[in-house]
Amino acid sequence: MTKRADTGSLRRIRALIWKETLQVTRDPSSFVVAFVLPALLLFLFGFGISFDATRLKVGLIIEEPTPETDRFVASFSNTPYFEVQRATDRRQFIDQLSAGRLNGIVVLAGDLSERLARGDTAAIQVITDGSDPNTAALASGYIRGAWAVWQAQRNISRDARMPGQISINQRFWFNPELESRRFLVPGSISLIMMMIGSLLTALVVSREWERGTMEALLATPVGIREFIIGKLVPNFVLGLCAMGVCVIASRYVFHIPLRGSLLVLVGFTAVFLAVALGLGLLISTVARTQFIASQLAMLVAFLPGLYFSGFLFEVASMPAVLRAVAKIVPAGYYVRGLSTIFLAGDIATVLVPATLVLTFMSAVLFALTALNTPRRLD
């Protein structure tokens, strides 16, 4: 009797998987969510967002031109980071800075060369627009870096290095060029997978309610476990295909290195997809229309991932309450794991804890779905 029941259950699961597969292939919205939407979002995040400085507009004020200041201006101008305008009076640039046409003003004092000749401390004044703190900090940091590089080159050229002087040798692991895109692209993939995973399952179930096919399905002996498996498997495969598109684009369009194993990447993504699909199924127990399901998926899956995953905003700088909220956002664990696989490799101390947390989250979501679905199916 038990063997016959198991056989019947397997037949129902296969039938549900086949039904869902046909529905996915016939419905263009599933392909839009799985392929078009990830491509658009990935190109938007990859090309539209950057934390790198390129062609910062800087006003350079030289109160007293000398050969020393000319050499500094030459080294300052011959970089891809600055677009330099020169003047002798700061009043010429104040209005431009206030209007946002300049990112910063650098003032070389009239006694700069004299101080350098005496060996005294010589400083420059950097003025930035504090109404845009991010750009102001970026411009100030790059200007300070240019000044430090010029001073080091000047000391070397004058043979001014003294015995016992400390030299700082900086090395940047995993991202030597400090390209923000190498972090932004894996982070955007995390958000994309969270959103499309929750959207896929949330929309397909709500579509059943809208079309009236859910009532016919409830008239069959299909159980909750069979219903969940039947909905998950086709969308799980579709989600992995979407991930494949993202990985190909990141490698060959954005040139992000993949230093980890492809097998580890697929396995880690599969665990995260289970969380996203489980969240979508849980949403479907509340939403009976596709419109409500899509809005809930954006609210519950995309927005928390955007703000609390560490992808764009530093979680460590948030208040304690928000840091606690960030610990229950699945995208945060996937962002750290995915960035590690792409840029550093298969580091078990990062991937194993993240995998365990994501597995626990998916189990909780499926349990909540199983508990809520019977009340919805009565």
Place of tokens 């929750």: 198
CA–CA–CA angle 12, 2, 5 (5° rounding) = 15
Q: What is the pLDDT of residue 364?
A: 93
In the sheet where 56-62 sits, what is the strand order?
A: 82-87, 56-62, 104-108, 125-128
The set of residues, in sequence order, having a beta carbon less than 8 Å from that of 313 and lying 6+ positions away, is 307
Question: How much is the average pLDDT of 274-286?
Answer: 88
Q: What is the pLDDT of residue 285?
A: 79
CA–CA–CA angle 229, 232, 234 (5° rounding) = 115
Q: What is the pLDDT of residue 362?
A: 93
Q: What is the pLDDT of residue 349?
A: 92
Tokens of 51: 């934390």
The full set of domains in the chain, from first to last, is 2-49+180-377 (no CATH), 56-157 (3.40.1710.10)
Of 17-31, 54-68, 130-144, 328-342, least confident by mean pLDDT is 130-144
Burial class of residue 55, CB neighbours in 10 A (0-12, 13-18, 19+): exposed
Strands 125-128 and 82-87: unpaired
Q: What is the pLDDT of residue 372?
A: 76
- 3 state SS for the chain: CHHHHHHHHHHHHHHHHHHHHHHHHHCHHHHHHHHHHHHHHHHHHHHHCCCCCCCEEEEEEECCCCHHHHHHHHHHHCCCCEEEEEECCCHHHHHHHHCCCCCEEEEECCCHHHHHHHCCCCCCEEEECCCCHHHHHHHHHHHHHHHHHHHHHHHHHCCCCCCCCCCCCCCCCCCCCCCCHHHHHHHHHHHHHHHHHHHHHHHHHHHHHHHCHHHHHHCCCCCHHHHHHHHHHHHHHHHHHHHHHHHHHHHHCCCCCCCCCHHHHHHHHHHHHHHHHHHHHHHHCCCCCHHHHHHHHHHHHHHHHHHHCCCCCCHHHCCHHHHHHHCCCHHHHHHHHHHHHHHHCCCHHHHHHHHHHHHHHHHHHHHHHHHHHHHHHC
Task: Please give the Cα distance from 192 to 116 (Å, whole number).
Answer: 54
Question: How much is the average pLDDT of 70-89?
Answer: 75
Band of pLDDT at residue 164, cut at 50, 70 and 90? very low
Q: What is the pLDDT of residue 163?
A: 45
Average pLDDT, the chain: 79
Question: How much is the average pLDDT of 87-105?
Answer: 77
Task: Please give the Cα distance from 233 to 109 (Å, whole number).
Answer: 69
Band of pLDDT at residue 112, cut at 50, 70 and 90? low
Q: What are the φ/ψ torsions at residue 205 (nearest 5 degrees)?
A: -75, -45
What's the N-to-C CA distance of the chain in angstroms?
Answer: 27
Q: What is the pLDDT of residue 329?
A: 92
Q: What is the pLDDT of residue 1?
A: 47
Q: What is the pLDDT of residue 119?
A: 63
Of 28-32, 153-157, 301-305, 354-358, least confident by mean pLDDT is 153-157
Of 159-173, 192-206, 317-331, 364-378, least confident by mean pLDDT is 159-173
Q: What is the pLDDT of residue 168?
A: 47
Band of pLDDT at residue 202, cut at 50, 70 and 90? confident
Band of pLDDT at residue 303, cut at 50, 70 and 90? confident
- Answer for the pair 69, 62: CB distance below 8 angstroms, yes or no: yes
Q: Is the pLDDT of residue 167 over 60?
A: no
Task: Please give the Cα distance from 5 to 223 (Å, whole number).
Answer: 12
Q: What is the pLDDT of residue 264?
A: 94
Burial class of residue 29, CB neighbours in 10 A (0-12, 13-18, 19+): middle
